[in-house]
Amino acid sequence: MLRVEPVTPDTVELLIRYSSQHGAEHDSSYLPGPGFELTSEQPSYLLRSGSEVVGAGSLMLTPRYIRMGAGRFAILHTTLPAAETYARLLAAIRPHAAGVRKLFLFLPDTYTQTAGFLEGLGFAVERYSYVLRKAPAETIEVTWPAGVALEALRPDDPAGAGHFADCINDSFARLAGHAPLAGNDLRDWFHDEGYLEGGILLLKQDGRPIGTLMVIRECEDPNTAEVTALGIATARQGQGLGRRLLRYAVDFAARRGFRSVMLSVNAENESALRLYLAEGFKPIETMVCYACQVPGASVPGSAGESPQTS
């Protein structure tokens, strides 16, 4: 008999194990992993058949997502693919979503059966993202214009974190699904299992922040680095600084022994996509953002932050 039960301190390891075994089939961006803590900001449930765990749902309702009026699924997956199993998990989690407008997740475009189940539950396509990879990673000598330099952020630098948030919000303001960032959001990044020392950076010109970059260890492949949060302030776009940041990221990864570099990009961000292709990145996967409305909610915002973007 199938039953859904909330994850407790006694069963959190079952959630982590299930996520490790199955979560990456859909989206590996924010899977519950070692160090995951149960909080009201991430209600989580297990689907069981007898004593066996056959599904899991975990919804992120952190301040960053609340600000965009949305909740993002870290995982919504079952090994018993049927509309009923997804419906049971969704029914258990939905009451936690009071006050947000949408729930969303990402799914590879090849998972058409799962997409059909989700659409039957009220999910609809919001947009598309591409995952790209460059291999091998290569060392690249990067030069900067006069007065322009990169500065690695430290965990004890709240002012720098605030500048990073302001800059990335400006850079990504017009991109679908951007979840507004606050300086406090960066604190957890320094403790993430994928964090690389020196990998969270501000680009400055004469001391003023004009760009952002983060390079982390890819969670599924220890030989791959992931580039995220690559942005240039609106007023400085179109001057070749984004290309230099990208090359720096590839060089950063290569010098630390990574064999390849990956990133994701919104399908509508054609200028960024052209840059990545020109720099040797190849598309490897198309991800689809599915979202469903939360009945009765009236919170403004837009669902669908890109996968792999913090």
Higher local confidence (pLDDT), 81 or 112:
112
What is the chain's mean pLDDT, rounded? 93
Cβ–Cβ under 8 Å, residues 24 and 32: no
Question: Where does the pLDDT of residue 296 fall: very low under 50, low under 70, confident under 90, or very high at 90 and above?
Answer: low
CA 77 to chain CA mean position, Å: 17
What CATH number should be reported for the domain whose range is 2-129+287-293?
3.40.630.30
**Model confidence pLDDT, tens digit, residues 40-56:** 999 999 999 999 999 99
* Mean pLDDT within 149-168: 95
Peptide bond into 136 cis (omega under 30): yes
Give me 174's structure tokens.
């017009």
pLDDT value, residue 305: 53
pLDDT at 173 over 90: no
pTM of the model: 0.88
Question: Where does the pLDDT of residue 234 fall: very low under 50, low under 70, confident under 90, or very high at 90 and above?
Answer: very high
pLDDT at 298 over 60: no
pLDDT value, residue 308: 46
pLDDT value, residue 297: 52
Using alpha carbons, select from 274, 241, 245 the residue that is nearest to residue 261: 245
**Neighbour count for residue 293 (Cβ, 10 Å):** 13
Residues of the chain above pLDDT 70, percent: 95
* Interstrand relation of 260-266 and 224-232 (parallel, antiparallel or unpaired): parallel
pLDDT value, residue 96: 95
**Neighbour count for residue 77 (Cβ, 10 Å):** 28
Question: 3-class DSSP state for residue 174?
Answer: coil
pLDDT value, residue 269: 93
Specify burial of residue 243 (Cβ count, 10 A radius: 0-12, 13-18, 19+). Answer: middle
Cβ–Cβ under 8 Å, residues 210 and 164: no
**Model confidence pLDDT, tens digit, residues 31-88:** 999 889 999 999 999 999 999 999 999 999 999 899 889 999 999 999 998 999 999 9
Ranges for all domains in the chain classified under CATH 3.40.630.30: 2-129+287-293, 136-258
Identify the CATH assignment for 136-258 out of 3.40.190.10, 3.40.630.30, 2.102.10.10, 3.60.70.12: 3.40.630.30
**Model confidence pLDDT, tens digit, residues 86-97:** 999 999 999 999
